[in-house]
Structure 1
Amino acid sequence: MSHHPKHGKIMGGVAVTPDLAGSLADYQGRLGLDLVEQGPLPADLAASWGCAGSAGLPYAMLRPQSGAHCFIRLVEQPDVPGFRPTRTFGWAAYELTVRDVFGWPDRLDGSGFRVIGPPREIAGLPYFIPMQVLGRGDEMIYLNEVAMDTPSSDLPKAHSLTDHVFIVILAAKDRMAAVDWYRHALRLDEGESYTLEYTMINAAFGKPAGTQSVITMVQNERLPILEIDDYPAEATDRPSHAEMLPPGNALVTLAVESFDDLDVEFLTPPVLRHGDLYMGNMAATVRGPSGELIELIETGRF
C-alpha cells in the first residue's frame, strides 16, 4: 500500500446476527452501505479469531458509499440465551459518522433496527450529536453527526449519508487498566476523560437518573480510536457459544504500523491476507483485557 492507514485507524467491525438476509436489508437498504463480499466465513479466518466454531457460517462484508476503507462484516449465528446489550464486558458499540442525524429515526422506521436512544445533544459534549440503535443481533450502532473537533482530537464529517466507523466503545472491567493496556500493548495514546450521565448504561443497569460514569478516550495523536467506559460492578463476562464469535459487537479490526512494535500475544500466527479489507497485508488477532477480540492488520511495510 502506498498510502497506508495511520497506526490505530479503525478498519472495521464484526457484528453477529441471527438473520443475515434481514440484516443485509437493514445495512444496505436503510444505512446505505454497499455489499462488497458474501459467502461462507472462511475456516482459516474464523480460526485466526479464536472462533473456529464459526467457520462456514453465512457472512457478508459492507463498506460506506464514501469509499472509506472501513468495513462492517456480518456473521449469521444463533442467538445466545441470556445475552443483553450494554450489560457485559467487551465491545459495546460502533460509532458511525453520519449526516442529518435528526432524520435517522424516520429512515429506520419499519426496519430491523430499534432506536434506543433518539438523537440528542449531550451536556458537556458539544462535539457531536449521537443516537443509538440496536440491530437484529443486538449489536449496538451509534449514528453520530459530527459538529466540531474536540480540543484533543479530529472528528470526521461524513462524506456519504452513512460513513465509516470512527470510534469503537469498550465496556471495560477496569477502565484505567484497559487504557494502560492499549497504551503499552498497542502503542496508542491516552486522551481526555469525561464524566457524564451515560443514559445507556444507567438504563441497562437500572441506575437512578443523574448517575455519573467516566469514559476515557484512546487515540493516536489527534486520531480518535476507542472510548473506554467504566461499567458497574453488576456487569458480567459476555456469554457465547463455545468456540464461536461473541454475540452483538463481536470484533474490531485496527491498522497497526508494525507487529514488531507491539507487546501482544497473537491467538494464531500472523498470515498474509488478500481482498478489499486486507489488501495483501499480514493480519492476526489478539484478545484485550476485557475479553474483546482485536484483529490487527500490519499496514506500514509498504
Structure 2
Amino acid sequence: MTQRQLTGVRGATLVAKDIAEVAKAYTGGLHFSVTEETQVSPELAECWGAPSIAGQPMLILAAANGNDWLRLVQDPSAVEFEPLKRLGWMSLEINVRDVDSLRQSAIDSGFEVIGEPAYLAMSDAIKAMQLIGPAGEVCYMTQIDREVPPFELPQTNAKTGDLFIPVLACADRDQTSDFYQDLHQADKPLKFDTKVTVLNRAWKRPIDSQYPLATLQMGGLSCFEFDQLPQASANHLSQSGLPSGIAIITLEVQDLDAIAKRINCPVFEFDETISYQSRRCIMLKGPSGEWLELIAQKATTS
C-alpha cells in the first residue's frame, strides 16, 4: 500500500445562527470546553468564498480528552434543514468512553435522542447512540470496547473524545468513493449494503431496509463513511455562501503542496494561524456539494 495522503480527521465546523446556544449544549451535555473565542477573519472568510461572514463570532471547543476539534461559526443567515434528508455532511461520529452515561446530560442540554444506546448489528464491540444537536447536526456517540478488524478505530478513557468518522450523505457511492480514493492515494474503499435504523426512521422506510454504504480508512484511527441517499435534497447555501449545520470537515494531509499540484487547486496562505493552528489550507467541494478543508499534518516532536 502506498503512503496515505489523508492522515486523519482534524475537526469539523458547525455553522449556526446562535453559536452560544450550540456551545452551551456541548459544554453542558457532552463535557466539551471552549478553548478560544474569536471572530472570522477577512482572510478566512475569503478562503471560504463568504466575505460577508468576516467579523462574525467563532468558537473553538475541545472534547473531554482535551483535543480542540470542534469549530463553531455564527451565520445570521444560516438556513434551516431537516436532518438526515440532505446531501453533504450528515453526521459526526464521536468516540466516547461510556455512551449510556451521556444520554441524560445530552437530553438535558438540548440534544434529541433519535437512536437509543445499543450495540451495532455488525459488531458487539461497538455501542452507539444517535443525537440531533442544536445546529441540526446529527452526532453518533460511539463506545468502542475492543479492536474491530479490519477497521482501525480509536478507544478512549475520556467521557468524550475525537471525531473519528465524518458521515457523508452522497448521491452516488461509487462516484464518491472514487473521488476520495483519488485524494487519499492509498486504501481502497470497502463497499457493502447494510441497515441504518436512523435513516429508515427518518425516511419512513421498513426498519430492515438496507443502504449502499462505503468506508474509507484514513490515518489517525479515522475513516470516512459514505451513505448513498440519491433521494436527499441538495445542500443549499445561506445568503453568506456557507452551508449550515455540519459545514466543513477538516483533514490533515501528508503533503499539501503535492495534492494542490495533482488536483490543480490553490493553497491559501495566512499571516497568522486561523484554522487548527495551520497557516495554509486547501478548500475543496466534493461530489455531493460537501466542503473539505485540507491542512498540513501537524509535525510530531520526538
Q: If the length of structure 1 is used for normalisation, what is the TM-score?
A: 0.89
The 1:246–1:276 alpha-carbon spacing in structure 2 relative to 1, beyond 3 Å, is closer
Conserved? CA contact 1:188–1:218, under 8 Å: no
Provide the residue aligned with 2:117 in structure 1: 119
Residue 210 of structure 1 deviates from its aligned partner by 1.3
Residue 117 of structure 1 deviates from its aligned partner by 1.2
Q: Distance in 1 between matches of 2:33 and 2:79?
A: 31
Q: Distance in 1 between matches of 2:289 and 2:278?
A: 28
Q: Distance in 2 between matches of 1:241 and 1:285?
A: 18
CA offsets, 1:169-197, max 9 Å, x none?
Answer: 01111111111111113424224334221
Conserved? CA contact 1:46–1:53, under 8 Å: yes
Conserved? CA contact 1:100–1:145, under 8 Å: yes
SS in 2 for 1:189: coil
Task: Find the partner of 2:242 among 223, 240, 245.
Answer: 245
Q: Which has the higher mean CA deviation after the structures are superposed, 237-246 or 155-164?
A: 237-246
Q: Distance in 2 between matches of 1:8 and 1:225?
A: 10
Q: Percent of pairs identical after alignment?
A: 28
Conserved? CA contact 1:182–1:188, under 8 Å: no
Q: Distance in 2 between matches of 1:205 and 1:78?
A: 29
Q: Which has the higher mean CA deviation after the structures are superposed, 16-25 or 209-218?
A: 16-25
Equivalent positions of 1:253-264 (< 5 A) are 253-262=250-259, 263-264=262-263
Conserved? CA contact 2:79–2:244, under 8 Å: no
Q: Distance in 1 between matches of 2:171 and 2:29?
A: 34
Residue 275 of structure 1 deviates from its aligned partner by 4.2
Q: Distance in 1 between matches of 2:50 and 2:137?
A: 18
The 1:241–1:221 alpha-carbon spacing in structure 2 relative to 1, beyond 3 Å, is closer
Residue 19 of structure 1 aligns with an amino acid whose one-letter code is D
Provide the residue aligned with 1:27 in structure 2: 26
Conserved? CA contact 1:169–1:229, under 8 Å: yes
Residue 65 of structure 1 aligns with an amino acid whose one-letter code is A
Q: Which has the higher mean CA deviation after the structures are superposed, 36-45 or 74-83?
A: 74-83
Residue 21 of structure 1 deviates from its aligned partner by 1.6
Residue 279 of structure 1 deviates from its aligned partner by 3.1
The 1:29–1:273 alpha-carbon spacing in structure 2 relative to 1, beyond 3 Å, is farther
The 1:278–1:14 alpha-carbon spacing in structure 2 relative to 1, beyond 3 Å, is closer
The 1:79–1:105 alpha-carbon spacing in structure 2 relative to 1, beyond 3 Å, is farther
Residue 20 of structure 1 aligns with an amino acid whose one-letter code is I
Q: Distance in 2 between matches of 1:249 and 1:61?
A: 14
SS in 2 for 1:108: helix
The 1:278–1:249 alpha-carbon spacing in structure 2 relative to 1, beyond 3 Å, is closer
Conserved? CA contact 1:49–1:295, under 8 Å: no
Provide the residue aligned with 1:236 in structure 2: 233
The 1:39–1:260 alpha-carbon spacing in structure 2 relative to 1, beyond 3 Å, is closer
Conserved? CA contact 1:132–1:143, under 8 Å: yes
Provide the residue aligned with 2:160 in structure 1: 162
Conserved? CA contact 1:146–1:156, under 8 Å: yes
CA offsets, 1:130-177, max 9 Å, x none?
Answer: 111111110111110012222222211123101110111011111111
Provide the residue aligned with 1:217 in structure 2: 215
The 1:281–1:54 alpha-carbon spacing in structure 2 relative to 1, beyond 3 Å, is closer
Residue 258 of structure 1 aligns with an amino acid whose one-letter code is D
The 1:84–1:78 alpha-carbon spacing in structure 2 relative to 1, beyond 3 Å, is farther
Q: Distance in 2 between matches of 1:188 and 1:207?
A: 36
Provide the residue aligned with 2:62 in structure 1: 63
Residue-pair matches, total: 295
* Cα RMSD for the two superposed structures: 2.4
The 1:245–1:24 alpha-carbon spacing in structure 2 relative to 1, beyond 3 Å, is same
Task: Find the partner of 1:131 among 129, 132, 137.
Answer: 129
SS in 2 for 1:148: coil
Runs of 5+ in structure 2 lacking a partner? none
SS in 2 for 1:28: helix
Q: Distance in 2 between matches of 1:125 and 1:192?
A: 16
Provide the residue aligned with 1:173 in structure 2: 171
4+ runs deviating over 6 angstroms = none
SS in 1 for 2:108: coil
SS in 1 for 2:120: coil
The 1:19–1:216 alpha-carbon spacing in structure 2 relative to 1, beyond 3 Å, is same
Residue 66 of structure 1 deviates from its aligned partner by 1.8
Q: Distance in 1 between matches of 2:20 and 2:221?
A: 34
